[in-house]
Amino acid sequence: MAIEEEQEKLKAEFDSKLGPDAFHEGWQSLLKVDSAFFSASVSLASVPRRKSYLSRKEQVLIALAVDCAATHLYAPGIREHVTSAAKEGATRDEILEVIELSSTLGIHACNIGVPLLVEVLKEEGKYLEDITRPFDQTQQNLQQEFTEKRGYWHTFWEDFLRLDPEFFAGYLEFSSLPWIKNVEGTSGEGKGALEPKLKELVYCAFDAASTHLYVPGLKLHMRNALGYGATPQEILEVLEIATLLSLHTAHVAAPIIEELTGASN
């Protein structure tokens, strides 16, 4: 089979499995420089779409969470998934809410760093009063407010709240917005645009991504998602979509290879 004919066949397969709107420069170059890997990549990427435990709109929003996370920021994917989400019926508010939820990733610097700081202080025998004193009334109120707005509490917040209630309060306001804001046209007032289950699956997506792999958060949000009615198959599908981040290696590299060496095959 001629090279052009083979590529046309593979592109038709891509369109049938992933949709023509998903075809961007990275895919196009990969098709030219390594058609076999292109085909294998399409097969992998199409599995969640074919099984569809999550709706197509939910799948696209999960993929957006992976690509827009601060640890990845894959602009071609962000553009693709925003476009696809809108075509699948996602509203502007729903798309923006994925961005808002994904923007909480940075707090993991504190979730990991503060317990380590406390561990070091204990080992050094320094500032023990600061890390053992009970919550004052302000801190108790913040803990209650967090629990009410976010729907859970976890022990990894306690040292953070104890050592810097001001920054904790700032993060509480920042992270709670998707859970409490009024969105026109939604069923529940003051609950944001997305259902709680999907919010928790968004957290799972960027925590599970290979650029982050934040185990405490992933386990917590899996538990929360189950509590909101998620099935194991839905959570697994989130992990499968997050796995597709690895395809971006070829999507970024293939155009460069094509430019510098030419597509000789």
Residues 209, 245: contact at Cβ < 8 Å? yes
Rounded CA separation 1/113 (Å): 57
pLDDT at 188: 61
Hey, CA dihedral for 126, 128, 130, 131, is it positive or negative? Answer: positive
Q: Please give the mean pLDDT across all residues of the chain.
A: 95
Residue 15 pLDDT level (bands cut at 50, 70, 90): very high
Instruction: Indicate if the pLDDT at residue 265 is higher than 50.
Output: no
Angle between helices 92-102 and 56-68 (to 10 degrees): 40
Residue 5 has pLDDT above 80, yes or no: yes
| Mean pLDDT of the region 233-244 | 98
Q: Average pLDDT of 153-168?
A: 96
What's the pLDDT score for residue 87?
A: 96
* Pairwise CA distance, residues 130 & 122, whole Å: 11
Of 103, 164, 107, 154, the closest CA to residue 131 belongs to 164
Q: Is the pLDDT assigned to residue 177 strictly greater than 70?
A: yes
- Please, which residues have CB within 8 angstroms of residue 114's CB and are 6 or more apart in sequence? 156, 159, 160, 163
For 24-50, b/e burial (b = at least 16 CB within 10 A) is eebbbbbbbbbbeebbebbeebeebbe
**pLDDT beyond 90 at 247:** yes
Average pLDDT estimate for 83-108: 97
Instruction: Using alpha carbons, select from 237, 256, 255 the residue that is nearest to residue 56.
Output: 237
Q: What pLDDT is recorded for position 187?
A: 64
Task: Examine the pLDDT at 263 and tell me if it is beyond 60.
Answer: no
Cα(40)–Cα(31) distance, integer angstroms? 11
Q: What's the average model confidence in pLDDT over 80-107?
A: 97
pTM: 0.93
Q: What tokens does 34 get?
A: 């390594």
CA distances for 73 relative to 26, 69, 102, 155, angstroms: 15, 6, 11, 30
Determine the average pLDDT of the residues in 98-114: 97
Percent of the chain with pLDDT over 70: 98
Instruction: Give the list of residues 6+ apart from residue 60 with CB closer than 8 angstroms, or none.
Output: 81, 84, 85, 88, 90
Least confident range from 20-24, 41-45, 145-149, 197-201: namely 20-24
Check: CB of residue 222 under 8 Å from CB of residue 235: yes
pLDDT, tens digit (0-9, with 9 covering 90-100), for 111-158: 999 999 999 999 999 999 999 999 999 999 999 999 999 999 999 999
What are the structural domains, with CATH classification, of the chain?
Answer: 3-90+195-261 (1.20.1290.10), 108-174 (no CATH)
Residue reference for tokens 């990845």: 72
CA triple 234-239-241, angle to 5 deg: 95
Nearest partner of 111 among 154, 156, 80, 153, judged by Cα: 156
pLDDT, tens digit, for every residue of 33-56?
999 999 999 999 999 999 999 999
**What is the share, in percent, of the chain residues with pLDDT greater than 90?**
93
Residue 186 has pLDDT above 80, yes or no: no
How far apart are the C-alpha atoms of 143 and 146, rounded to whole Å? 5
